[in-house]
Chains A and B, each alone.
Chain A
Amino acid sequence: MIREFNLKKFRGIWFLAFVLSISLIFWNSISVAQPKTVKIGGLLTLTGSLAKAGEEIKHGIEMAAEDVNKAGGIKALGGAKIEVVFGDSQAKPDIGAGEAERLVEREKVLAIMDQYPSVVTLAASAVTERLKTPFLAPISYADKNAERGFKYYFQQNAKTGSKGTGAAWYEFEYMEYLAKVAGKKFEKVAIIYEDTDYGQAGANGLRNFCGEKGYKVVEDISYPSRTPDVTPIISKLKAAKPDVVLMVSYLGDSILIMKTADRLGFHVPWIDNTGKAHSSYIKALGEIAEYDNVLNMWNKDLDKRAKELNDRFKTKYGEDMTGHGALEYQAIWVLKAAFESAKKADREALRVALTKVEIKPGPDMFMPFRFIKFGSNGVNTGGGFILTQVQSGDFVTVWPEKYAVGKVKIDPKWWK
């Protein structure tokens, strides 16, 4: 018994329903004039392998926007509030590019700020360049990103391989400092790195610096960050008997690597390049993480202001703020300063303002930087890194000496 579905009888109603449902699609785009907010796109890794990092960073951005808005918003735009619309890159370049397009074209954001990995930054910023929208990379620092002659790309950190300012440079400098403190001459160095832009650019820098100063690089190993078993490469490292290992990795692979190194009884100082700078690293490894040397951009123990910022963050979100979160927090303030000088909620005006903006240590500077000013290639060369060592289950700033809160501790198991 089949009842016929009588479409014809209710033609009118169906047509009305059809029109209504079509109009719902456009509902969101009907912009009732809201001059009181400026929309910024936040392109983060909210799902996928880096979802944990994305979540922490989202909180950093949200807190920054709240702080700016509570302090009166953007005064030059009549107290307009910053509204962040998030996109999810899933740590994949093609998806990141698609999301960048969506944020610009459909959400009509005035600028996009992102997270990492550098491969996603590369892809997404190519899209924003084409769509003439400013792109601020608060974290990414693979060399390639700033070497494209782009006008709309701005990067808060120096290129990793830059001598004197890059992350790889700081990692290398700390190695020499550690040697001095330990009273041991480092002759043999091993470099291990994940195989995308971030790892390769970092390793390149490290290789150059080691070569210049005459260190012998006894092992140089690249690996895909989603390897289920790293025992073979750790065996190789152990067999080469280096005095120190320099690594450029992300969080997940770092955990596996350090666990394996501990299992194989391989005990030398490891110096990391910001991949491990998350409290979940310490949580995951417990005792094994003790004495580990982790490059960072910021730490909650830096000064009173940092502590206050972290306390508020911790109360709100239940965990410590990370260096990455702090960079993103800072980036919102950079955008605010740019809007103040642009005096217009317009992408071109914002771009021009970003080329001129200059933030010095003061109320708008939260990082241990000398300054924030974007050079002709969009790179800020006033940034800097700190080295935090894991001591008693927490990150302690130990270097450079002007920011140090604690002293470098030497693991009695090293070199045995």
Chain B
Amino acid sequence: MDVAALVQAIVTGLVMGGIYALVAAGLTLIFGVMRIINLVHGEFLMVAMYGSFFMNSLFGLDPYISVVVILPLLFLIGSGFFRFLISPILSAPEINQILLTIGASIFIQNLALLLFTADFRTIALSYSRIKIQLGPGIIDLPQLVALLSSILLTLILYWLLKSTDLGRWIRAASQNREAALLTGIDVRRVYLFTFGIGTACVGVAGSLLSGIYYITPSIGWLFLLTAFVVVVLGGMGNFVGALLGGFIIALTESVGSLFMPIALVPVLKFIIFIILLLFRPQGLFGLKRL
């Protein structure tokens, strides 16, 4: 077995893990706090990618710079989405919530198809072909930035939740809604912020990914399914769990594909998923929520 191929697989696995963690971070926050299965998350990723693309093609802005615009924009979109569409159905049965987010996902995807057509867009940066050699493994600069950013984002979110007032309110609301209300926390407002922050996270993910993948209306779903597995693996609401979960899943896929036909590789992650749900549904980090 080729050592060079193994090193490359590990290196790429780490990068992909970082990418999955970026998408999963927002999802785990929303899921962990509000118990909402947010299937429109993938479309927000797509929206952020298109945002970066247009910032680049219309104003010549680098995606690593335009993220400063994308982040608040996605926060507003997420908050708005929550305020008008999710908030009214918070106490509805879960299946209805899922239907709503699926419906929204279909709507947004097709709206994007209508507005932007299905043309594959890419952002070509002058430095996107710079390669970094890690032993016999090669990654390029945008991938490295995505990996480092995912670690940074995880740390920022962790700090946010542990050390700020907002973070404490979010944790309180997620632990016990009634008790939080009783202590005077405006739970609905907290939820609004959480959804906004979660969407802003995937906005960052979109900005970083726009330099790596092609952009098309259907790109959201490519990552969403894996992001859900990562969220469950890491424990819902646990960011460090999501980061580690991302690495685990991605490394499994990446090293696994050296030993089996690549078509079978997704089976690995779903086997992990099923085993988790059967034996340890609280995820790797158990009930250590947020």
Q: For B118, give its contact among A55, A223, A283, A286 (CB under 8 Å).
A: A55
B154 at the interface (CB under 8 A from A): no
Instruction: Flag if B254 contacts A231 (CB, 8 Å).
Output: yes
Q: Please give the distance in Å from B95's CB to the nearest CB on chain A.
A: 24
Q: For B254, give its contact among A51, A229, A286 (CB under 8 Å).
A: A229
Interface string of A24-56 (1 = CB under 8 A from B): 000000000000000000000001111110110
B12 at the interface (CB under 8 A from A): yes
Give the complex CA separation of A223 and B9 in angstroms. Answer: 17
B257 at the interface (CB under 8 A from A): yes
State which of B32-40, B160-168, B214-222 sits at the interface with chain A: B214-222
B263 at the interface (CB under 8 A from A): yes
Given A47-B110, A224-B266: 14 more A-B contacts, CB < 8 Å: A47-B113, A51-B117, A52-B117, A52-B216, A227-B262, A231-B12, A232-B8, A232-B12, A235-B5, A251-B120, A263-B129, A263-B140, A264-B138, A284-B120
Q: A231-B12, A252-B214 are in contact. Are A236 and B120 (CB under 8 A)?
A: no
Q: For A232, give its contact among B9, B213, B214 (CB under 8 Å).
A: B9
Q: For A252, give its contact among B12, B120, B121, B217 (CB under 8 Å).
A: B120
Q: For A51, give its contact among B12, B217, B253, B262 (CB under 8 Å).
A: B217
A359 at the interface (CB under 8 A from B): no
Give the complex CA separation of A27 and B105 in angstroms. Answer: 32
Contacts of B218 in A (CB 8 A): 48-49, 51
Give the complex CA separation of A394 and B255 in angstroms. Answer: 38
Give the complex CA separation of A226 and B266 in angstroms. Answer: 11
Contacts of B229-283 to chain A: CB distance below 8 A: 253-254, 257-258, 261-263, 266
Instruction: Flag if A55 contacts B262 (CB, 8 Å).
Output: no
A233 at the interface (CB under 8 A from B): yes
Q: For B263, give its contact among A51, A195, A286 (CB under 8 Å).
A: A195
Give the complex CA separation of A95 and B88 in angstroms. Answer: 34
Query: Which of A47, A224, A235 lies at the interface centre, i.e. has the most chain B CB atoms within 10 A of its CB?
Result: A235
Q: Report how many A-B pairs have Cβ atoms within 8 Å.
A: 98
Contacts of B1-20 to chain A: CB distance below 8 A: 2, 4-5, 8-9, 12, 16
Q: For A236, give its contact among B5, B110, B131, B216 (CB under 8 Å).
A: B5
Q: List 25 A-B contacts (CB under 8 A).
A: A221-B262, A222-B261, A222-B262, A224-B263, A224-B266, A226-B222, A227-B262, A228-B213, A228-B222, A229-B16, A229-B253, A231-B8, A231-B9, A231-B254, A232-B9, A232-B254, A232-B262, A236-B258, A251-B120, A255-B122, A256-B213, A264-B8, A284-B121, A286-B122, A286-B124
Instruction: Flag if A52 contacts B2 (CB, 8 Å).
Output: no
A361 at the interface (CB under 8 A from B): no
Q: Please give the distance in Å from A184's CB to the nearest CB on chain B.
A: 25
A265 at the interface (CB under 8 A from B): yes
A182 at the interface (CB under 8 A from B): no
Contacts of A280 in B (CB 8 A): 119-120
Give the complex CA separation of A86 and B222 in angstroms. Answer: 28
Instruction: Flag if B139 contacts A263 (CB, 8 Å).
Output: yes
Q: Please give the distance in Å from A390's CB to the nearest CB on chain B.
A: 16
Contacts of B258 in A (CB 8 A): 232, 236
Give the complex CA separation of A228 and B4 in angstroms. Answer: 22
User: How many A residues touch the partner, as a band?
Assistant: 35 or more
Interface string of A204-230 (1 = CB under 8 A from B): 000000000000000001111011111
Give the complex CA separation of A195 and B5 in angstroms. Answer: 23
Give the complex CA separation of A49 and B253 in angstroms. Answer: 23
Q: Please give the distance in Å from B116's CB to the nearest CB on chain A.
A: 11
B285 at the interface (CB under 8 A from A): no
A410 at the interface (CB under 8 A from B): no
Query: Which of B118, B223, B258 lies at the interface centre, i.e. has the most chain A CB atoms within 10 A of its CB?
Result: B118
Instruction: Flag if A255 contacts B9 (CB, 8 Å).
Output: no
Q: Please give the distance in Å from B57's CB to the nearest CB on chain A.
A: 12
Contacts of A252 in B (CB 8 A): 120, 214, 216
Interface string of B99-122 (1 = CB under 8 A from A): 000000000001001000111111
Contacts of A227 in B (CB 8 A): 262
A262 at the interface (CB under 8 A from B): yes
Q: A265-B138, A280-B119 are in contact. Are A232 and B217 (CB under 8 A)?
A: no
Q: A228-B222, A252-B214 are in contact. Are A222 and B263 (CB under 8 A)?
A: yes
A239 at the interface (CB under 8 A from B): yes
Give the complex CA separation of A255 and B214 in angstroms. Answer: 8
Contacts of B129 in A (CB 8 A): 262-263
7 nearest CB pairs, A to B: A51-B118, A232-B257, A52-B118, A231-B12, A223-B262, A284-B122, A235-B8
Q: Please give the distance in Å from A187's CB to the nearest CB on chain B.
A: 21
Contacts of B119 in A (CB 8 A): 52, 280, 283
Interface string of A303-321 (1 = CB under 8 A from B): 0000000000000000000
Contacts of A70-112 to chain B: CB distance below 8 A: none
| Nearest neighbor of A263 in chain B, beta-carbon distance | B140
| Nearest neighbor of B253 in chain A, beta-carbon distance | A229
Give the complex CA separation of A286 and B129 in angstroms. Answer: 12
Contacts of B223 in A (CB 8 A): 228
Q: Please give the distance in Å from A44's CB to the nearest CB on chain B.
A: 12
